């Protein structure tokens, strides 16, 4: 594949001279300092080390506020001496400006600091977790929530978010599936670009924009066994066909930075992987920004056993093309000696510093180091329009998985509703993973959302029933008693926020604790049970799918969860979300994904085919699946140019009719199968979609563009090829249903 030419991180001639002048004036220590990022460290808090305290924060044992309040070292001396290029974890307009002032006014060269943080799904206004947002298939809204996150984060003094996470994953055991866009490469690439545009805008130097960071480069989502930080071993073809395109899309969208992944890829840790960081990223994708390590990952190269010590690890990292060392000071401690004794050429260091400074210049930081103040910050955080978008995004992220006998939407004038479950009246868990700057006080619980939606005379009975995990607080009896004389039971069950995200892989994909038992007890009452799922990953819940009346997949939708769930339950919003990751029937099926290569013995009736003897091979819910309160019919598929050349575009259309009684939106999905190729190809692959809104009875011709170039793949010689031949085309409501046509790609 050729170089990308439309990168927005362009090289500006005026800046180049200034950058070279600066580099010319810098001491060795100042250069390495620019490539170093520190977190504020904590002085002797609880007699624990910084890492232990951070672990407590991640575990939820201390809140972000408590963490923030601890007395800490902001490395003011290093800033004054010009020995830091970036700080992570500093928030607040006043504090960031105070530290910036030291860098600009007191350091020898006055180079401003770059402040970064994980702003993953909102800053103070917390939006749905990325996996949930992806289920909206709504690029405009996804871009919008990133834009608002950038507004609030920049108002609070940040310049840089370590997002979007664009890792494809096919393994829901991996907790970080919550942070990405799911299993599909095409959709994941579109979402990667939308999020980059949202954070950075057309011009990242505008004060309300922040730099984005495509992470984790690369293939982190392929961790064996779904176990976080674990090894990744895959063919180069799978890497380039499936796992890398979202990174390329981010690069094309002009993303300013990349973060290397913790894992090793085919035996080489990504942090020191020259093939990835230089050959692919710089040479193939034409990326001109800088690459940051993941936290402490340079030092961990030694633990991988890929370097004898930190010194060798830091040398390998720098030579591979990794510019910035995140948080552990490995470059700072272990590089200087190696330049002094000429083990590494200073030119390599200078180039890394130039790349980093170029980003600071492009961000406008050199000209305007103070991009916010207290007033801007106060006006921006939780602004009413941000909350409106949070509600909009939350309801569009919901996926209706089951709706037997159209039990939903519910009437608002029922006599009694039993709201049961450990997550029904909970705020914190609805924020999801990576919501460190969110505040649980901002969250509307599901119980409050339901209470606000119904008419005054409707009685709402609430009982927790049990905890998410463990035996404590179990009171099935009370829950069952309350439920027994209700019109309907709404059971809110699922996972706590810290059960997905980093270091939160699961061995099982069931409802944790006693929650399924609680559902069984509620089911016994004979009253209809509507399950609202709160979770950060697909779950394997066949009993629930078979037995309850309705399932509303509500993920962790952020501060407006309760309102959005009520909007769907009572029909103020007709759900339109579609799954972006397959729900397995059993954890034993994992990895399970819709676009798997063709086997020579596809599952069939006879024994010797690709299936299981003790359970189904089909998923519980496939990729692309999601119901609506109305129904849609698909007919009249037309492939407008059934014979096409490799570099052409074609369009495919289908007529979609709303055959139900209320208006609704449908994500019309286009899948393609390459029938014969020089490598075994996936059974089908998403190559386009359109979201349409139809009134009852309305019929619309939906036209989807297909770029024939996108039908290619990496062949045995690692060349990207579109091979001539017959392709099957399928348009439908999910990856398993639809109507079919054909398309022939011609030799020339
Ligand atoms: C995570 C990254 C994150 C970084 C900084 C690491 O542990 O893997 O995704 O950006 O911490 O918080």
- pLDDT for 582: 98
324 CA to centre of ligand 1 in angstroms: 14
pTM for the whole thing?
0.96
Nearest residue by C-alpha to atom 2 in ligand 1: 294
- Cα 338 to ligand 1 centroid, rounded to whole Å: 28
Q: Which long-range contacts (CB under 8 A, 24 or more apart) does 66-71 make?
A: 70/42, 70/45, 71/42, 71/43, 71/45
Q: Which tokens is 250 given?
A: 């981010």
Q: Ligand 1: which residue has its CA nearest to atom 10?
A: 162
Using the predicted structure, report yes or no on whether residue 655 has a pLDDT greater than 70.
yes
**Euclidean distance between the first and the last CA atom of the chain, given in angstroms as a whole number:** 19
215 lines ligand 1 (CB under 6 A): yes
User: Which one is catalytic: 294, 325, 442, 674?
Assistant: 294
Pocket test for ligand 1, best of 162, 223, 260, 271 (most atoms within 8 A of CB): 162
Distance 298 CA to ligand 1 centre (A): 13
Neighbour-count burial for 353-364, b at 16+ CB within 10 Å, e otherwise = bbbbbbbbbbbb
Atom of ligand 1 nearest to the CA of 165: 9
572 carries an active-site annotation:
no
* Helix ranges (DSSP H) in 617-711: none
Q: Is the C-beta atom of 294 inside 6 A of ligand 1?
A: yes
Residue 622 pLDDT level (bands cut at 50, 70, 90): very high
Residue to probe by mutation, ligand 1, list 228, 295, 299, 501, most atoms within 8 Å of CB: 295
Q: Is residue 179 lining ligand 1, measured as CB closer than 6 Å? A: no
Residue nearest to atom 7 of ligand 1 (CA): 295
Per the structure block, which two tokens stand in for 284? 């193939």
Provide the pLDDT for residue 748. Answer: 80
Q: Nearest to residue 273, comparing CAs of 253, 250, 293?
A: 293
Note whether 667 and 679 are within 8 A (CB): no
Tell me which residue has its CA closest to atom 12 in ligand 1. 118
Q: For 60-174, list the strands marked E by DSSP.
A: 72-73, 86-88, 114-117, 160-161
Residue by residue, DSSP assigns 449-511 as HHHHHS-TT-EEEEE--S-SSSSTT--HHHHHHHHHTSSEEEEEEE--GGGSSTT---S--S-
Q: In sequence order, what are the residues at sequence separation of 6 or more whose Cβ sits closer than 8 angstroms to the Cβ of residue 609?
A: 601, 602, 603
HEC profile of 683-696? CCEEEEEEEEEECC
The single residue listed with the structure tokens 């990325």 is 130
Q: What is the pLDDT of residues 154-195, one digit of tens each?
A: 999 999 999 999 999 999 999 999 999 999 999 999 999 999
For 204-213, write each residue's pLDDT tens digit: 999 999 999 9
Question: Rounded CA gap, 619 and 610, in Å?
Answer: 14
The verdict on the CB of residue 502 being under 6 Å from ligand 1 is yes
Ligand 1, atom 6: closest residue by C-alpha:
295
Q: Which atom of ligand 1 is nearest to the CA of 162?
A: 10
Contact 459, 483 (CB under 8 A): no
- pLDDT given for residue 3 in this prediction: 35
Measured at the alpha carbon of residue 228, what is the angle toward residues 225 and 230, in degrees to the nearest 5? Answer: 65
Distance 257 CA to ligand 1 centre (A): 14
Give 418 Cα–ligand 1 centroid separation in angstroms: 40
Tens of pLDDT, residue by residue over 308-365, are 999 999 999 999 999 999 988 999 999 999 999 999 999 999 999 999 999 999 999 9
pLDDT at 449: 98
pLDDT tens digits for 94-144? 999 999 999 999 999 999 999 999 999 999 999 999 999 999 999 999 999
- pLDDT of 9 reads 47
Ligand 1 pocket, 162 CB below 6 A? yes
């Amino acid at each position: 594949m050729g170089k990308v030419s439309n990168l927005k991180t362009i090289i500006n001639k005026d800046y180049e001279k200034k950058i070279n002048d600066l580099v010319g004036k810098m001491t060795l220590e100042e250069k390495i300092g620019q490539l170093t990022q520190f977190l504020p460290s904590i002085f002797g808090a609880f007699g624990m080390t910084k890492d232990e305290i951070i672990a407590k924060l991640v575990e939820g044992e201390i809140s972000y506020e408590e963490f923030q309040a601890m007395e800490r070292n902001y490395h003011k001396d290093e800033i004054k001496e010009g020995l830091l290029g970036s700080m992570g974890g500093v928030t607040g307009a006043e504090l960031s400006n105070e530290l910036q002032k030291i860098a600009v006014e007191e350091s020898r060269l006055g180079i401003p600091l770059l402040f970064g943080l994980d702003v993953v799904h909102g800053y103070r206004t917390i939006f749905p977790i990325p996996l949930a947002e992806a289920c909206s298939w709504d690029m405009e809204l996804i871009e919008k929530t990133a834009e608002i996150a950038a507004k609030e984060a920049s108002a609070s003094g940040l310049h840089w978010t370590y997002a979007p996470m664009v890792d494809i994953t096919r393994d829901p055991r991996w907790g970080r599936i919550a942070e990405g866009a799911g299993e599909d490469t095409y959709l994941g690439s579109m979402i990667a670009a939308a999020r980059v545009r949202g954070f950075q805008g057309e011009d990242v130097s505008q004060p309300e924009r922040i730099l984005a960071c495509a992470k984790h480069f690369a293939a982190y989502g392929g961790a064996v066994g779904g176990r976080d930080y674990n090894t990744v071993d895959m063919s180069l073809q799978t890497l380039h066909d499936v796992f890398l395109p979202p990174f390329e899309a981010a690069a094309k969208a002009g993303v300013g930075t990349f973060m290397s992944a913790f894992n090793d890829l085919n035996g080489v840790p990504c942090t020191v992987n020259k093939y990835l960081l230089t050959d692919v990223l710089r040479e193939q994708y034409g990326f001109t920004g800088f690459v940051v390590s993941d936290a402490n990952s340079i030092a961990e190269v030694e633990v991988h056993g890929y370097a004898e010590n930190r010194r060798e690890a830091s040398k390998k990292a720098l030579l591979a093309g990794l510019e910035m060392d995140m948080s552990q000071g490995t470059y700072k401690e272990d590089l200087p000696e190696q330049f002094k004794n000429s083990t590494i050429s200073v030119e390599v260091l200078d180039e890394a510093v130039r790349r980093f400074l170029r980003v600071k210049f492009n961000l406008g930081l050199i000209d305007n180091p103070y991009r916010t103040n207290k007033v801007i910050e106060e006006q921006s955080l939780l602004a009413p329009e941000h909350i409106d978008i949070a509600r909009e995004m939350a309801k569009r992220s919901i996926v209706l998985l089951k709706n037997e006998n159209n039990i939903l939407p519910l009437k608002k004038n029922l006599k009694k509703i039993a709201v049961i479950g450990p997550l029904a009246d909970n705020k914190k868990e609805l924020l999801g993973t990576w919501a460190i700057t969110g505040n649980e006080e901002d969250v509307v619980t599901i119980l409050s959302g339901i209470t606000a939606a119904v008419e005054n005379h409707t009685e709402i009975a609430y009982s927790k029933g049990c905890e998410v995990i463990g035996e404590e607080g179990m009171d099935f009896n009370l829950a069952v008693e309350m439920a027994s004389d209700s019109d309907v039971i709404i059971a809110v069950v699922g996972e706590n926020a810290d059960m997905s995200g980093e270091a939160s892989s699961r061995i099982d994909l069931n409802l944790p604790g006693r929650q399924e038992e609680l559902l069984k007890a509620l089911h016994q009452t004979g009253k209809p049970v509507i399950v609202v799922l709160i979770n950060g990953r697909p779950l394997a819940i066949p009993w629930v799918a078979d037995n309850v009346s309705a399932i509303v997949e509500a993920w962790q939708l952020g501060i407006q969860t309760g309102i959005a769930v009520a909007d769907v339950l009572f029909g103020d919003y007709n759900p339109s979300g579609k799954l972006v990751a397959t729900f397995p029937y059993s954890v034993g099926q994992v990895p399970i994904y819709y676009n798997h290569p063709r086997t020579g013995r596809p599952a069939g009736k006879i024994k010797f085919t690709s299936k299981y003897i003790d359970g189904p091979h089909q998923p519980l819910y496939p990729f692309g699946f999601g119901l609506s309160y109305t129904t849609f019919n698909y007919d009249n598929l037309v492939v407008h140019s059934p014979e096409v050349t490799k570099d052409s575009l074609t369009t495919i259309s289908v007529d979609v009719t709303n055959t139900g009684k209320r208006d609704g939106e449908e994500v019309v999905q286009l899948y393609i199968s390459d029938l014969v190729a020089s490598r075994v190809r996936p059974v089908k692959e998403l190559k386009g979609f359109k979201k349409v809104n139809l009134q009852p009875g309305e019929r619309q011709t939906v036209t989807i563009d297909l770029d024939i170039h996108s039908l290619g793949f990496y062949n045995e010689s690692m060349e990207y090829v579109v091979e001539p031949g017959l392709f099957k085309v399928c348009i439908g409501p999910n990856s398993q249903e639809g109507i079919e046509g054909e398309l022939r790609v011609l030799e020339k």
